[in-house]
Structure 1
């Protein structure tokens, strides 16, 4: 590929970005990521496809001079490692000696790690990617401790409301009228989800996004041959949202060997489409042998793709899970507990136990008992029940249990 051809791609993409940035760009609720852009540290913004990674990258640098190139462009397909230096030359010829560079989906180019490793000593680099394994190869080897990564999710409920023009205030949570509006919008969010394109262009976009994730981020990357069976597996696994899943049992159901099923599941997890939550065990060996619970990255995927009945309680639990994944940036210190009782979430970092129930009148005793028994095991400092719309505080066996409506939990 010639340098002039690369320049054309860069300029065309720049013009599209300029038009895009004139539109309704929503502020994302993310930490101060610019503090990680210090030479020789590279910033990697990761997350599911179409979650807004490139837009966030551009927003971070909106007051600075930077270059941008998206390697998901079909004109760049088949780009070789040796072509990356032509990319750099084209950038210099177009923009001069600039300080900031954004490389969008650069993991599409094999050998990109060495290129970024070389550049981050003289430039402030943002790379984006829709696969969690992009930092587990040579990049991690070459710049261990010299990169920071942040996982971006589709719009949270708060960001969804912001997109709709509503910046929720603390006082809104005490207004009867505003609370009724919040519950109506939450019902909409459960169906539409938080992918920016699906909110802007309609629910049909979710199917396009979902298929892009399957084909570009899993099937192509992992060279899956039995595409139809894989698609059936993916849809089935998504339908288990907020439930324990046995991959061994699932492999028998779809008549695919367990090793293949585990590989497929890891591919969906690497693409940020699903997340696995481990069961809490006091010993590490126990944690490794227990079944995990599965959650889906966005409620819109559930409402459009899942083949099982839509269960409001399970959807609420999935919402809470994604909020916790977003806040904790992973599941390393997040668990569910199942002994003779069940606790939906044990947040080890913040020392809190969380139950989720679709209750709008009375919380069942088993939810309360689960928290108390969970406390005896973990000594967690905070016990929370997330309900549909109950707000209360209980005292049970000397422990305080806060009951909060799901809309409040998601917004605070």
Structure 2
């Protein structure tokens, strides 16, 4: 409101809050939304010196023992890492994710499988639920991606090669859950454009996309060797609706979409998530043995808890089942092992204690892990 615009001045806001809180025995809470809208003002005691910022005001107010301060920020001038950097060691960060499937389903109800299909297509941005039809949902997501996320990144990071950023977005969106690295991406884009695109530029652009909460990086982890690989990594979209909007709601490969949804669910539940790598000595037709790497889709850890998870659209025969189960048998430990599937609805355990569970039940049951 216009009458409150004066509180964008950090000195005015700090003075007002102190007038309400100091000398009062009650507990107070200050919520500041969109911190990037605040102004920088001259220091009245040193007009030619460094300007007073909102962070100066917030750090000053921290001295009040009966005041808790909550700050949110986004946009071209301020994203998550900036806020955390400014208050490093003096604050806690709370990340707010798009709606999980359980949250989404609690709003839409109805058939679980139909709801999952909608969720996989339009994602979990809350305002999607308020759009009346498919066209309105698609238009909203497309506009949100281009008019907010991309413009913010370009302005804030002073991106000179918008075309390269766009091609990177297309590539990552089209290949969620695929192994890649900045060098491979730079080589691919270089071959398309003929430009000398550096690996450092791609690494920097990917970092910007992560900071904007568009993509997350999953590292590869040697389960037995207990070490991380430098490259390649996998990248997952924070919201599949935004991903689908970027690629024009094409390329609906449920295998990768389902894997992305499981990854996001694990993150929301507070797990650290890696891509597991185990090794097998496999016999060649010649009779010799070759050390072969096998992949576990997710190694999820939280505190002292660890669980191995495979994502499988369907297990129609013994060959496919063996392919999914084989990496589990190579871990050499007894941590829980789960196959999340699209082709079943009731969960069951096989003879080796591996839980087979349908994707909807896995996402709706917070105790499924």
Q: Is the 8 A contact 1:114 1:138 kept in 2?
A: no
Query: Who is 1:149 aligned against?
Result: 93
Matched, 1:335 2:290: no
Structure-2 change in CA distance of 1:285 and 1:402 (3 Å): closer
1:324 aligns with: 266
Whichever of the two has the greater Rg, that structure is: 2
1:210 aligned onto 2:145: yes
TM-score (norm 2): 0.76
Deviation digits for residues 233-287 of structure 1 (CA, Å, limit 9, x no counterpart): 1222222211112211111222321111111000100111100001003699952
Q: Which moved more, 1:349-358 or 1:361-370?
A: 361-370
Q: In structure 1, what is the equivalent of residue 349 of structure 2?
A: 393
1:105-184 residue pairs with structure 2 within 5 A? 105-107=34-36, 111-122=53-64, 123-130=67-74, 131-140=79-88, 144=89, 146-164=90-108, 166=109, 181-184=111-114
- Unaligned stretches of 5+ in structure 1? 11-68, 70-75, 77-82, 167-177
CA distance in 1, matches of 2:188, 2:37: 34
Provide the residue aligned with 1:186 in structure 2. 116
Do the aligned residues in 1 keep the contact of 2:308 with 2:328 (CA within 8 Å)? yes
Q: What secondary structure does 2:115 align onto?
A: helix
Q: 1:104 aligns with which of 11, 27, 33?
A: 33
Counterparts of 1:267 and 1:147, CA distance in 2: 23
Work out the CA distance in 1 between the residues paired with 2:294 and 2:360. 26
- The within-5 A match list for 1:1-400 is 7-9=3-5, 83-89=9-15, 99-107=28-36, 111-122=53-64, 123-130=67-74, 131-140=79-88, 144=89, 146-164=90-108, 166=109, 181-201=111-131, 202-211=137-146, 212-216=148-152, 218-255=153-190, 256-281=197-222, 287=228, 289-306=230-247, 309-328=251-270, 333-339=272-278, 340-349=293-302, 350-359=305-314, 361-362=316-317, 364-373=321-330, 375-376=331-332, 379-390=333-344, 391-396=347-352, 400=353
Greater alpha carbon shift after TM alignment, 115-124 vs 258-267: 115-124
The Cα shift of 1:195 comes to 0.5
Q: Deviations over 1:151-184 (max 9, x none)?
A: 11111111111222x3xxxxxxxxxxx7xx1111
1:64-97 superposed Cα distances (whole Å, 9 cap, x missing partner): xxxxx8xxxxxx7xxxxxx311234566899998
Greater displacement, 239-248 / 258-267: 239-248
Structure number having the greater helix percentage: 1
Q: Distance in 2 between matches of 1:283 and 1:215?
A: 44
Contact 1:355 1:385 in 2 (8 A): yes
SS in 2 for 1:403: strand
Tell me the C-alpha RMSD between the 2 structures: 2.9
Conserved in 2, the CA contact under 8 Å of 1:6 and 1:90? no
**C-alpha distance after superposition, 1:278-307 (max 9, x if no partner):** 100369995251211100011212322237
CA separation of 1:369/1:193 partners in 2, compared to 1, >3 Å: closer, same or farther? same
Spell out, residue by residue over 1:305-339, the C-alpha distance to the aligned partner (whole angstroms, 9 max, x if none): 2377221011000000001111126xxx4211234
Could you tell me which runs of 5 or more consecutive residues in structure 2 were left unpaired when the two chains were aligned: 41-52, 132-136, 191-196, 279-292
Aligned to 1:27: none
Number of aligned pairs? 310
Say whether the 8 Å CA contact 2:311–2:340 is kept in structure 1.
yes
d(CA) in 1 for partners of 2:189, 2:17:
49
Q: How much has 1:197 moved relative to structure 2?
A: 1.5
- Say if 1:138 and 1:192 are closer, same or farther in 2 by CA, change over 3 A: closer
